[in-house]
Amino acid sequence: MEPVLEIRNLNVDYGLGDRAVHAVRDVNLTLHRGEVLGLAGESGSGKSTLAYGLTRLLAPPGVISGGEVIYHPEQGDPYDVLGLSDNALRAFRWAETAIVFQGAMNSLNPVHKISTQLTDVLKAHDPKMSDHSRKARAREMLKLVGISPDRMDAYPHQLSGGMRQRVMIGMALILQPQVVIMDEPTTALDVVMQRQILGQLIELRERLGFSVVFITHDLSLLVEFSNRIAIMYGGRIVEEAPAATIYRDALHPYSRGLLSSFPALRGARRELTGIPGSPPDLAGMPSGCSFHPRCPKAFEPCPTHIPVLGRPGTPDGAARSVACWLHPTEQPVG
Amino acid sequence: MTTIPTSSTAQVIPGQGAMAQPESAKPAKAKRRRFLFLRNAKAVIGLVILGLYVLFAIIGPWVTPYDPDARSNDLIQAPSADHWFGTTHLGQDVFSQVLDGTRSVVFVGFLAGTIATVLSVIIGITAGYLGGRTDDTLSALSNVFLVIPAIPLMIIITSILENASNLLIALVIGLTSWSWNARVLRAQTLSLRRRDYIEASRATGEKTWRIVGFELLPNLTAVIASGFIGTVIFAVLSLITLAFIGIVSNAGWNWGTILFWAQGQQALAQGAWWWFVPAGLAIAFLGTALSLINFAIDEFVSPRLRSMGKTKLKTASGGTVRMRIGFTPVLDNSAAPHTHAKPIPINTGGATPVIRETAGS
């Protein structure tokens, strides 16, 4: 499959020099055209930092201390997002990569009608567009996300949480970006609404062909509707594989821990174990594999050597990668 | 990566692995940064200038080279080694006058600022937090004070009292200038008291005084501080205005009195710039210092405004980038793995890792 976004050795720090906290370390990740890539991990594992880092939206003291984010536009040559000038970056945002924020329900400005907020995006990126066609586009977008276009003149407080979320998704798609980053977009919604919205998102993706980076701590959600899942721990990607593979046969003990912390719908009942301990302090990472203090399978190399993310020596090893000394690798990723 | 003593594998026994977040994995706690406020250039410059003013306010009248009232034969002399800021039409030393005048300006400014701030905090927060009839009453009171013109009132008061002292002037300014800050504080309190953390502290049964003192007040620091600084500037300017129009000329020297005499003797027409420029600059620098401190407090209280003291960063390629919201700086744009995360090859002796272990759940 054709890549649309390639993250190479991305490093994101908070702070500078010796006091810097390395929140994202050497992340290699490829997003393919039209795929849903799930990014899962505990709170504080660096998921959101990764998303904001690659879009360069981190507030100070966040800095990108290394790496490349190669974007492949539909036509034209690929380029590095981290090397863009400010104006180019501003033009790149939303038109190529849109983002739906954590708590997107509150991302709408309460004093403006949603029509104003939808057309604002168009005004900023395509000033030549006529007012009429802007309105028409906004109406079309609302219809697409399942909101009656006569709600155009509603204020955010007149909409329910689910509707506001849909408006945000519609707004993210209004310029037909190639990549949509969603940072826990459904956390504040009830499960019924979550399902509806995600179903709609998948449907839209099939129709419009964008790729999604979906960040969540709810692995069960990802297993159901993403193509591939990357698991993050302590700022690194520890495992990355097709969703079904992760679900059936996770290699990293941490992924297994995450998977055994929610019940299966079918099959024999089993005890939910979860993962003992708490996530590491990013400012004082354990040496070696950062998961080793909590890992039930830790052995000699774990406390001293950092495992490389690479293809494991399993039969399906070509389609997945894992960073664990239980599965040493000959072919590192990136 | 900081070197952390590695824990032995024996520590990581399955089952105990839960608690095995080994203590040795915690790095030496980073040294607490003291005087964080002073890392801000604005704060340092503001405090240094203000410190000089306070110093001269204390020692000024004792270190003046001449008696500020003493006449001499050097009439309207330009600045020289004898008279640093020149002399007046009566041969008085302007430098001595400026030094001597610092005390009353600083005294009136800070006393009035303190009185007004204390009043505005008490009245504003009480009105905002308690609401209801208390709010109505206190709001009406501050509305009344809002429309009382301070300077005309002071002109009347000082003309009734023959010897209006600096203390009296400070009291009048302080008692008439609190209302604007009280309104601002009330509005901010109204917004804060509905926040979840205030509701939460009410739910945990905190006493009202504790909620106000420990939950509300710290969040109002920036507003209170900027109100205080603003009132001090206002009080200084009021005092100087009063002195300049000749209302309090018998209350000792201050910069306004100097300006009053300079104006009265047509200093500008005579080309005697040294007569009014020092006093004018003294006022301007004091205002600058107070404003700088105000900005610094804002940045200190709201970390989002703070830029870690350092806004310019060096990139790997030798250029500089700025820390800016919305445009995260890129320090190194190479795809090479970072040094702090370089994986170490496994063949360092010891056991060979197991190739594959079946999932044992």
Q: pLDDT for B315-357, tens place per residue?
A: 777 777 777 777 888 887 777 665 444 444 444 444 444 444 3
Q: How close B305 comes to chain A (CA, Å)?
A: 9
Question: Cβ A56–B359 below 8 Å, yes or no?
Answer: no
Residue B70 DSSP label: -
Shortest distance, CA B40 to any CA of chain A (angstroms): 15
Residue A303 backbone zone (phi > 0: left; psi -120 to 50: alpha; other: beta): alpha
Average pLDDT over every residue of A177-187: 87
Mean pLDDT to the nearest integer, A65-89: 88
For A89, which of B18, B308, B327 is closest by C-beta distance?
Answer: B327
Chain A contact set for B36 (CB, 8 A)? none
Residue B284 CA to residue B288 CA, distance in Å, equals 6
Instruction: Chain B: give the shortest CA distance to residue A257, in Å.
Output: 10
Can you tell me the distance from the alpha carbon of A63 to that of A52, in angstroms, rounded to the nearest whole number? 11
Length of chain B: 361
Buried b (16+ CB within 10 A) or exposed e, B4-21: bebbebebbeeeebeebb
- For chain B, what is the mean pLDDT? 76
- Higher confidence at residue B25 or residue A274? A274
Q: What average pLDDT does range B251-273 have in this prediction?
A: 79
Q: Å from B303 to nearest chain A CA?
A: 10
Smallest Cβ distance to B341: which of A16, A26, A292?
A26
Between residues B255 and B31, the one the model is more confident about: B255
Q: Using CA atoms, how far apart are residues A167 and A260, in angstroms rounded to an integer? A: 34
Q: Crossing angle of helices B255-264/B94-130, nearest 10°?
A: 120
pLDDT value at residue A330: 67
> How far is it, in rounded angstroms, from Cα A44 to Cα B202?
30
Whether the per-residue pLDDT at B254 is higher than 90: the answer is: no
Q: What is the pLDDT of residue B20?
A: 40
- For residue B337, give the chain A residue with the closest CA: A9
Q: Please, which residues bridge with residue A230 across strands?
A: A39, A240
Comparing CB atoms, the residue among B1, B9, B30 nearest residue A300 is B9
Interface test with A, best of B32, B39, B330 (most A CBs within 10 A): B330
Out of B19-28, B108-117, B222-231, B261-270, least confident range: B19-28
Best mutation target, B2, B8, B12, B322, to test chain A (most A CBs within 10 A): B12
| pLDDT band, residue B116 (cuts 50/70/90) | very high
**Amino acid (1-letter code) at residue B253:** W
Give residue-wise pLDDT tens across range A209-260: 899 999 988 888 888 888 999 999 988 899 999 998 888 888 899 988 888 8
In this model, does residue B13 exceed pLDDT 70? no
Which stretch of A4-18, A191-205, B58-72 has the lowest confidence by average pLDDT? Answer: B58-72
Q: What percent of chain A has pLDDT over 90?
A: 19
Interface test with B, best of A12, A292, A295, A321 (most B CBs within 10 A): A292
pLDDT digits (tens, 9 = 90+) for B285-295: 999 999 898 88
Residue B83 reports pLDDT greater than 80: no
Give SS3 for B321: strand
User: Where is average pLDDT lowest: A30-39, A115-124, A305-314, B75-84?
Assistant: B75-84
Q: How far apart are CA B298 and CA B307, in angstroms?
A: 12
CB-nearest to B17 from A273, A276, A288 is A276
Disruptive mutation site among A56, A246, A256, A324 for chain B (greatest number of B CBs within 10 Å): A56
Q: Å from B154 to nearest chain A CA?
A: 44
Q: What is the mean pLDDT of residues B272-297?
A: 87
Q: Which residue has the higher pLDDT, B211 or B85?
A: B211
Interface predicted TM-score (ipTM) of this complex, two decimals: 0.73
Position B307 pLDDT exceeds 80: no
Name the closest residue on chain A to residue B348, using Cα atoms. A301
Q: What is the structure's pLDDT at B249? A: 55
Chain A: closest CA distance from residue B355 (Å) = 6
CA angle A163–A165–A168, rounded 5-degree value: 115
Please give the pLDDT value at position B251. 61
Q: What is the mean pLDDT of residues B17-34?
A: 44
The reported pLDDT for the residue numbered B6 is 39
Identify which of A19, A249, A303 has the shortest CB distance to residue B7. Answer: A303
Mean local confidence (pLDDT), A43-68: 86
